[in-house]
């Protein structure tokens, strides 16, 4: 499967995506989400404080997942350079972020990945470093086989997608054979001490629905995942994060193609939860694109909606005051983060 | 094409109170409490509802509880097993009456 970009698909354009989000439903306008925030006095949406720097190291990935909001895949060549990483390190050195969240694509495919992790750790021995590891990358090539050891050495926290504890559902979303490889990779991580009680090495799994429906309640599903993975494969992990699919990129294309768009959006809108709205991740996170530009979140990054703080739109121009005082850009895809128990890269928010 | 069942009507279920509010309010309050976590989990209750939906052959309920069970983290295998439970009871309910037929056959046969 090729990325939407490689197919030259109309939805590979962020303008086209935004247009769908603003006009494809009766009784729905471009400021529908903003109107909901106004009702609960949260508009304009403001940051609380910047604690998390989520850095997208590139769109290249060894997988082509059907729901991917990044439209990542082997055919994507956008990769962060060492120069841009150096600019990120300046922010780590001089500002108050407490968590670095490395994502992609497969972040490990960036040739400077290990250098960057080592550099962050040498600046701050205590800072939390999360790597969003897709698991299969560990087995994709011999040069990645020692990743579990590398992760352990630098006390990296692992967050890995596993849509379900069975092969059928996992492979239908992430590609043939992904489940089997993911199980092998999880065993390697467990062998290294990840997800094992008492080691302090954190392995969290991420669940997102394989279709046009909402995620299950996080606590109940976590218990189910733990039981099934332990009983059948002897695999252990720390927490399960449930994430709602946001209607952008490949998931938007799926919703439109399968005629589920309207029903799915109605469900997100009907499930708007003010508590989840006040806890959205864009309030404490800045997302850095592969080219160094700054965004409110990874979704706004993919929609090419740069932060509104004009003097601080690139990592090299980082101005914490401007960023903290900025208005966060909200559009109708944001209903995905505020539905039900809420959704963020760390799971539910309400 | 006009049909007796319109999928769009499912989302209007909550509006039945327009014609008789007090009874609708009581029903929905009861309904909500029935499906809350209790001695059975909300997930178990949703699977029971899916099986019952097939027994009573209500298309609204089948749509609603297919989505609901998936949103409770059930997979296709579990959902189909629930429907087989309904089918087994329905089939069994027919077959168990065969005992009456057998009794009658014996009664009237030499």
Tokens (6 digits) for A170: 């996992």
pLDDT on residue A29: 76
CATH number at B18 reads 1.20.1290.10
CATH number at A154 reads 3.20.20
- In a domain? residue A343: no
- In a domain? residue A76: yes
Split into its structural domains, chain B has a count of 1
- In a domain? residue B7: no
- In a domain? residue B5: no
- Chain A CA closest to residue B66: A213
pLDDT on residue B2: 82
pLDDT on residue A200: 96
Of B73, B76, B77, the CB nearest to A220: B73
Stretches in chain A below the pLDDT threshold 70: 24
- In a domain? residue A349: no
pLDDT on residue A143: 97
Of A164, A168, A220, the CB nearest to B41: A220
Q: What percent of chain B has pLDDT over 70?
A: 100
Radius of gyration of chain A (CA): 19
- In a domain? residue A347: no
Mean pLDDT of chain B: 95
- In a domain? residue B4: no
Considering only CB atoms, which residues of chain B are within 8 Å of chain A? 11, 41-43, 67, 70-73, 75-77
pLDDT on residue A348: 95
- In a domain? residue B26: yes
Which tens digits make up the pLDDT trace of A53-76?
999 999 999 999 999 999 999 999
Cis peptide bond prior to A274, omega within 30° of 0: no
- In a domain? residue B3: no
pLDDT on residue B82: 98
Cβ within 8 Å, pair B70-A266: no
- In a domain? residue A344: no
Which tens digits make up the pLDDT trace of B40-82?
999 999 999 999 999 999 999 999 999 999 999 999 999 999 9
- In a domain? residue A195: yes
Residue to mutate among A214, A229, A240, with most B CBs inside 10 A, is A214
pLDDT on residue A1: 87
Which tens digits make up the pLDDT trace of A17-43?
999 998 867 777 778 999 999 999 999
Which neighbouring-strand residues pair with A103?
A: A56
Split into its structural domains, chain A has a count of 1
CA distance A185 to A146: 11
The answer to whether A168 contacts chain B (CB < 8 Å) is yes
pLDDT on residue A38: 97
Of A169, A213, A266, the CB nearest to B71: A213
CA distance B47 to B30: 19
pLDDT on residue B18: 97
The answer for A 195-214 residues in CB contact with B (under 8 A) is: 207, 209, 211, 213-214
- In a domain? residue B46: yes
**DSSP H helical segments within chain A, as ranges?**
4-7, 14-23, 32-39, 82-94, 113-123, 137-140, 147-153, 167-174, 178-191, 218-233, 249-257, 261-270, 274-278, 298-302, 320-325, 335-338
**Could you tell me the residue range of the domain that residue B71 belongs to?**
12-108
Tokens (6 digits) for A120: 């962050």
Of B73, B76, B77, the CB nearest to A221: B73
**Could you tell me the residue range of the domain that residue A45 belongs to?**
4-338
- Which H, E and C letters describe A65-90, residue by residue? CCCCCCCCECCCCCECCHHHHHHHHH
- In a domain? residue B53: yes
Which tens digits make up the pLDDT trace of A306-341?
999 999 999 999 999 999 999 999 999 999 999 999
């Amino acid at each position: 499967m090729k990325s939407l970009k490689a197919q030259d698909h109309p939805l590979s354009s962020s303008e086209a995506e935004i247009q769908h989000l603003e006009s494809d439903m009766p009784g729905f306008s471009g400021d529908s989400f903003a109107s909901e925030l106004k009702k609960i006095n949260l508009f304009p949406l403001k940051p609380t404080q910047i604690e998390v720097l989520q850095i997208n190291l590139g769109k290249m990935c060894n997988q082509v997942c059907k729901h991917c909001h990044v439209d990542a895949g082997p055919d994507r060549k956008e990769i962060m350079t060492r120069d841009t990483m150096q600019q990120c390190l300046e922010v780590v050195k001089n500002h108050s972020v407490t968590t670095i969240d490395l994502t992609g694509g497969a972040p490990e495919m960036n040739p400077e990945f290990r250098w960057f992790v080592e550099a962050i750790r040498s600046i701050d021995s205590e800072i939390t470093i999360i790597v969003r590891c897709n698991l299969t990358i560990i087995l994709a090539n011999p040069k990645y086989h020692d990743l579990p050891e590398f992760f352990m050495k630098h006390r990296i926290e692992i967050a890995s997608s596993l849509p379900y504890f069975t092969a059928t559902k996992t492979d239908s979303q992430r590609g043939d054979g992904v489940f089997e490889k993911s199980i092998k990779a999880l065993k390697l991580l467990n062998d290294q001490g990840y997800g094992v009680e008492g080691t302090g090495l954190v392995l969290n799994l991420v669940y997102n629905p394989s279709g046009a429906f909402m995620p299950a309640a996080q606590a109940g599903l976590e218990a189910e995942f733990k039981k099934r993975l332990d009983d059948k494969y002897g695999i252990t992990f720390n927490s399960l994060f449930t994430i709602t699919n946001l209607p952008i990129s490949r998931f938007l294309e799926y919703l439109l193609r399968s005629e589920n768009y309207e029903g799915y959006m109605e469900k997100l809108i009907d499930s708007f939860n003010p508590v989840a709205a006040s806890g959205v991740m864009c309030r404490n996170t800045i997302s850095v694109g592969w080219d160094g530009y700054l965004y409110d979140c990874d979704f706004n990054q993919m929609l090419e909606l740069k932060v509104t703080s004009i003097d601080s739109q690139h990592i090299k121009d980082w101005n914490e005051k401007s960023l903290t005082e900025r208005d966060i850009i909200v559009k109708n895809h944001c209903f995905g983060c505020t539905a039900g128990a809420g959704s963020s890269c760390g799971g539910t928010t309400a | 094409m006009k049909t007796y069942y319109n999928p769009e009507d499912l989302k209007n279920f909550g509006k039945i109170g327009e014609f008789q509010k007090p009874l609708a309010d009581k029903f929905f309050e009861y309904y909500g409490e029935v499906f809350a976590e209790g001695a059975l989990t909300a997930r178990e209750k949703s699977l029971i509802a899916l099986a019952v939906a097939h027994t009573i052959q209500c298309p609204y309920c089948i749509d609603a509880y297919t989505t609901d069970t998936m949103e409770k983290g059930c997979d296709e295998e579990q959902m189909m097993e629930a429907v087989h439970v309904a089918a087994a009871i329905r089939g069994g309910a027919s077959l168990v009456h065969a005992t009456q037929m057998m009794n009658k056959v014996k009664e009237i046969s030499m």
